[in-house]
């Protein structure tokens, strides 16, 4: 079940909200937990056992770590819990990739049962790992109520595609959170903004990549149109899901941290990754980069740490060589920025740094979205004019003109310009029209959803 679906918007969510707010405070977590398990069960009826098993094991581990705090036994329990979590992720996300490459490398004729990827396993595994690590570090108390821990892991607003919510961020709110009209109104507004970004902007942009790849009249312009379309689509798709997740969380009294901060205005790759998928960046920083030594070590080890983190980031995104190469590419670029590029960018006009960042990210997303190295190479060669194709074609001009308004809207809304204008306008006057605007947006979104069958979430596969 996706947030941007008729089933979720008009059936599941209203029923959950009514049931939740009619439930006495002491049972609200139980109601929300049941709703979250139903939400996951609809999409993954079998793998809900894996989710609950992970909760049970890490619940026991958390209690054991707290009981033996400061001893070797606590370290052993932590290591066992993390090993289990990583093993489950390795089996269900990477087994097929490993088996395919081993059989190809060794020229073996072995058949194996392919394992389906459980939805959201990368997100909830990182969340449950953050719980046991924070308990071990003394940054959070072990959760005594297993239902509360299960709610933290399975909370449907962020279960499927993030943002990655750290346990210590909402530890207090699991047992004591505030429900208010202001929180609920903010949640509705944020959820509807996410719906708008997803259905009205991201979904139509999604068609451009496919049109460019399978064009009857390929051209350099068409390849660029497809690449830019995907670059904008993945931002609006993923940031929209984060907006909806944050909004839904606020309706139920949870404060999730922001996940995006206008990454396309960055003037370096370092700044870009400080603005993109911030919850994942914080996770790798606190649980891998800093434990490795961070930048408080020799320069050689510092660069090694960056490389390890970005190799892990690529692997986290998917079991395919293009993700590994994508992570390695950004790791190398970030190391080069630490060596000399950042100093160079400080000495040139800001627009040069901005252009450099957008170009690197654009080609990075071509690699990210390609099903094979061959496809990535074809698209990149097409963009660079290295194929025997014209600069423009009638087909590319047609699709550019057909999508020019959508592209302009997407570019403008990927910057803080509109938000800045609203914030510095007569906001009090605008706020009185907010309920009407929300109803109109919902009506428009509903029309788009009924009329279109294309409504995927790109990050479901991660």
Given this model, what pLDDT does residue 426 score?
Answer: 47
* DSSP reduced 3-state for 422: helix
First to last CA, the chain: 16
Of 156, 177, 198, the residue that ends a domain is: 177
Q: 247 and 363 share a domain?
A: yes
Of 121, 148, 177, which closes a domain?
Answer: 177
The neighbour count for residue 46, using CB atoms within 10 Å, is 9
Q: How confident is the model at residue 218 (pLDDT cuts 50, 70, 90)?
A: confident
Predicted pLDDT at 319: 83
Q: At what angle do helices 220-251 and 181-195 cross, to 10 degrees?
A: 160
C-alpha distances in angstroms, 122 versus 50, 86, 222?
A: 13, 10, 34
Given a cut of 50, is residue 280 above it in pLDDT? yes
Q: Domain check: are 125 and 268 in the same one? A: no
pLDDT of residue 268: 96
Query: Other C-beta atoms within 10 Å of 268: how many?
Result: 20
Query: Would the pLDDT of 459 be above 60?
Result: no
- 290-315 pLDDT, tens digit each: 999 988 889 899 999 999 999 999 99
Q: Residue 461's pLDDT is what?
A: 56
Q: Fill in the DSSP letter of residue 47.
A: T
pLDDT mean across residues, the chain: 89
pLDDT of residue 213: 79
Q: Are residues 14 and 55 in the same domain?
A: yes
Q: Which residues are catalytic?
A: 317
Q: Is the pLDDT of residue 433 over 90?
A: no
pLDDT at 143: 93
Whether residues 198 and 346 fall in one domain: yes
At 37, is the pLDDT very low, low, confident or very high (cuts 50, 70, 90)? Answer: very high
In a domain, 454, yes or no: yes
Tokens of 447: 């029309």
251 in a structural domain? yes
> How many folded domains does the chain comprise?
2
Q: Residue 202 corresponds to which tokens in the numbers above?
A: 């991201």
Last residue of a domain, one of 177, 211, 245: 177
387 and 280 housed in the same domain = yes
Domain assignment of residue 326, yes or no: yes
**CA gap 453, 260 in Å, rounded:** 27
Contact 103, 30 (CB under 8 A): no
Written as six digits, the tokens of 373 are 């190295």
Distance CA 283, CA 126 (A): 8
Same domain for 362 and 338: yes
Q: In the predicted model, is pLDDT for residue 462 greater than 70?
A: no
Q: Same structural domain for residues 154 and 51?
A: yes
The C-alpha atoms of residue 356 and residue 144 are separated, in whole angstroms, by 50
Spatial CA neighbour of 341 closest among 329, 331, 353: 353
Same domain, 329 and 446: yes
Q: Is residue 239 part of a domain?
A: yes
Q: How far apart are CA 70 and CA 7, in angstroms?
A: 49
Place of tokens 């959170």: 177
* SS3 state of residue 5: coil
pLDDT tens by residue, 130-166: 999 999 999 999 999 999 999 999 999 988 776 888 8
Cα 65 off chain centre by: 30
Whether the CB-CB separation of 77 and 65 falls below 8 Å is answered with yes
Q: Are residues 160 and 197 in the same domain?
A: no
CA atoms within 13 Å, Cβ hemisphere of 9: 21
Predicted confidence (pLDDT) per residue in 366-410, tens digit: 999 988 888 899 999 999 999 889 999 989 899 999 999 999 999
Does position 18 have pLDDT exceeding 90, yes or no? yes
What is the per-residue pLDDT across 314-325, written as a single tens digit (0 to 9) for each? 999 888 899 999
Q: Is the pLDDT of residue 425 over 80?
A: no
Q: 388 and 290 in one domain?
A: yes
- Given CA atoms 95, 161, 26, 177 in this order, what sign does their dihedral have? positive
Burial class (CB in 10 A: 0-12, 13-18, 19+), 204: buried
Locate tokens 């969340």: which residue? Answer: 127
Burial 300-327 (b: 16+ CB within 10 A, else e): eebbebbbebbeebbbbbbbbebbbbbb
Residue at 44 is within a domain? yes
Q: Is residue 1 part of a domain?
A: no
What is the Cα–Cα distance from 415 to 35, expressed in whole angstroms? 35
With b for 16 or more beta-carbon neighbours within 10 A and e for fewer, the 397-433 pattern comes to eebbeebeebbebbeebbeeeeeeeeeeeeeeeeeee
CB-based burial label for 57 (10 Å; 0-12, 13-18, 19+) = middle
21 and 56 share a domain?
yes
Q: Tell me which residue range forms the domain holding 22.
A: 6-177
Do both 89 and 208 map to the same domain? Answer: no
- In-domain check, residue 296: yes
Contact, 105 vs 129, CB < 8 A? no
pLDDT (average), residues 275-284: 93
What does the alpha-carbon distance between residue 48 and residue 41 come to, in Å, rounded to a whole number? 6
- Tell me the torsion sign for CA atoms 40, 42, 44, 46: positive
Q: Which residue has the tokens 């670029």?
A: 333
Does residue 312 fall inside a structural domain?
yes
For residues 43-68, give the mean pLDDT.
Answer: 92
Question: Residue 455: its pLDDT value, please?
Answer: 59
């Amino acid at each position: 079940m996706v947030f941007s679906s008729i089933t979720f918007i008009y059936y599941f969510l209203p029923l959950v909200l009514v049931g939740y707010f009619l439930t006495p405070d002491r049972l609200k977590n139980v109601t929300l937990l049941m709703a979250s398990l139903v939400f996951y069960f609809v999409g993954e009826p079998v793998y809900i056992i894996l989710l609950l098993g992970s909760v049970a094991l890490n619940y026991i581990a958390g209690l054991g770590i707290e009981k033996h705090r400061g001893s070797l036994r606590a370290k052993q329990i932590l290591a066992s819990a993390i090993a289990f979590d990583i093993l489950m992720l390795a089996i269900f996300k990477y087994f097929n990739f490993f088996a395919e490459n081993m059989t190809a490398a060794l020229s073996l004729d072995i058949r194996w049962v392919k394992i389906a990827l459980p939805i959201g396993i990368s997100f909830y595994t990182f969340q449950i790992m953050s719980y046991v690590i924070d308990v071990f570090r003394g940054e959070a108390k072990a959760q005594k109520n297993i239902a509360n821990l299960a709610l933290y892991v399975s909370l449907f607003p962020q279960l499927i595609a993030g943002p990655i919510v750290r346990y210590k961020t909402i530890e207090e709110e699991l047992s004591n959170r505030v429900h208010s009209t202001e929180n609920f109104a903010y949640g509705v507004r944020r959820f509807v903004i996410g719906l708008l970004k997803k259905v009205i902007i991201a979904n139509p942009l999604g068609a451009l990549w496919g049109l460019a790849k399978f064009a009857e009249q390929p051209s350099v312009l068409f390849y660029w149109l497809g690449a830019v379309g995907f670059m904008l689509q993945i931002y609006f798709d993923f940031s929209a899901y984060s907006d909806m997740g944050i909004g839904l969380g606020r309706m139920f009294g949870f404060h999730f941290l922001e996940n995006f901060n206008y990454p396309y205005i960055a003037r370096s790759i370092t700044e870009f990754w400080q603005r993109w998928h911030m919850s994942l960046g914080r996770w790798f920083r606190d649980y891998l980069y800093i434990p490795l030594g961070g930048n408080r070590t020799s320069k050689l080890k510092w660069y090694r740490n960056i490389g390890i983190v970005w190799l892990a980031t690529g692997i986290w995104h998917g079991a395919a060589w293009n993700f590994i190469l994508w992570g390695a590419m950004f790791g190398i670029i970030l190391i080069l920025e630490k060596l000399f590029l950042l100093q160079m960018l400080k000495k040139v006009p800001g627009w040069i740094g901005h252009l450099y960042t957008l170009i690197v990210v654009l080609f990075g997303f071509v690699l990210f979205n390609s099903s094979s190295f061959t496809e990535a190479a074809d698209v990149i060669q097409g963009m660079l004019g290295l194929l025997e194709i014209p600069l423009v074609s009638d087909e590319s001009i047609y699709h550019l003109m057909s999508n020019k308004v959508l592209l302009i809207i997407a570019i403008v809304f990927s910057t803080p310009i509109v938000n800045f204008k609203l914030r510095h306008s007569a906001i009090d006057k605008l706020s009185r029209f907010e309920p009407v605007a929300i109803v109109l947006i919902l009506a428009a979104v509903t029309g788009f959803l009924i009329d279109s069958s294309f409504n995927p979430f790109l990050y479901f596969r991660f």
